[in-house]
């Protein structure tokens, strides 16, 4: 980050912000603090303008072609799992799914809608034989195949695709943000809704939470949510196998057994 230090000035301290990619940093000088990221998506500018992520301060392109973005450092904390049932979570997710500027920007970036049949094909090609032979995986694939024609919808919105509670940031100003947009895509809002409800909200509260979001919990939405959660879970099972995490893989397999 020497070139970034040249941009900011030698008096700035820069240190890693953590995370799996190693592309995020924190810069500090006196009482000023910035969150820096290398090669962040141009989508960030629209997210900032919409108030969905902390304010974008500047964007700089380095001589080597890398793009560095600086956001205002926000004093705050992650939401707890128990806080995911709050109305402000439902309202912010609805705002994201309803945003025309966000959808327009992803399209301009060349993103095309995720089709369930394409997702199913990717999953079937990716699963190892070791995974394929497990009864719960076989049952999951049968479910995805049987319901493929029943989950079709014309709804196409910007989906975050990782609505884990760690990505919801509550500022000291009491404003809620959703961060880490690297996996964003265009698709059925059931992708985000299913993950959030299955992971965090007791089933007897789903109808109330969806009403806070702004729609009704129909049988078709329930089926779509389940379909995408099963698909996502199969991907997670394979990913944890690939990365040598058998305990996590087994945890996701138990989750599959529970929801099928």
- Which of 30, 162, 192, 247 is an active site residue? 162
Tokens of 65: 């072609």
Termini Cα distance of the chain: 48
Question: What are phi and psi for residue 149, nearest 5 degrees?
Answer: -75, -15
The torsion angle over the Cα atoms of residues 148, 149, 154 and 157, rounded to 10 degrees, is 0
The three-class DSSP label of residue 174 is coil
CA 105 to chain centroid, in Å, comes to: 17
Identify whether 162 is a catalytic site residue. yes
Q: In angstroms, rounded to a whole number, what is the distance separating the alpha carbons of residues 13 and 63?
A: 21
Q: In angstroms, rounded to a whole number, what is the distance separating the alpha carbons of residues 58 and 44?
A: 11
Q: In angstroms, rounded to a whole number, what is the distance separating the alpha carbons of residues 165 and 10?
A: 36
Q: Name, in order, each residue with C-beta under 8 angstroms of 12's C-beta and a sequence gap of 6 or more.
A: 5, 27, 28, 29
The three-class DSSP label of residue 69 is strand
Sole residue written with tokens 């995490």: 245
Active site members: 162
């Amino acid at each position: 980050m020497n070139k970034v230090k040249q941009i900011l000035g030698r008096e700035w301290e820069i240190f890693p912000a953590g995370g799996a990619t190693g592309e995020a940093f924190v810069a500090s000088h006196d009482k000023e603090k910035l969150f820096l990221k290398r090669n962040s998506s141009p989508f960030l500018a629209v997210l900032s303008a919409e108030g969905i992520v902390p304010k974008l301060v500047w964007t700089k392109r380095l001589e080597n072609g890398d793009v560095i973005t600086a956001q205002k450092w926000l004093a705050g904390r992650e939401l707890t799992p128990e806080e995911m049932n709050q109305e402000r979570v439902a309202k912010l997710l609805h705002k994201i799914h309803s945003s025309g500027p966000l959808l327009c920007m992803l399209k301009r970036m060349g993103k095309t809608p995720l089709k369930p049949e394409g997702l199913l094909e990717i999953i079937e090609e990716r699963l190892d034989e070791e995974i394929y032979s497990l009864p719960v995986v076989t049952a999951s694939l049968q479910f995805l195949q049987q319901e493929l024609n029943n989950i079709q919808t014309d709804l196409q919105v910007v989906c975050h695709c990782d609505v884990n509670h760690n990505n919801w940031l509550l500022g000291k100003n009491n404003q809620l943000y959703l961060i880490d947009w690297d996996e964003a895509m265009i698709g059925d809002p059931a992708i985000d809704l299913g993950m959030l409800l299955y992971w965090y909200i007791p089933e007897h509260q789903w109808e109330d939470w969806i009403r806070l979001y702004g729609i009704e919990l129909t049988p078709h939405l329930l089926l779509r949510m389940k379909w995408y959660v099963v698909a996502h879970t199969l991907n997670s099972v394979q990913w944890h196998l690939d990365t040598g995490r058998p305990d996590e893989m087994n945890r996701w397999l138990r989750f599959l057994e529970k929801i099928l």
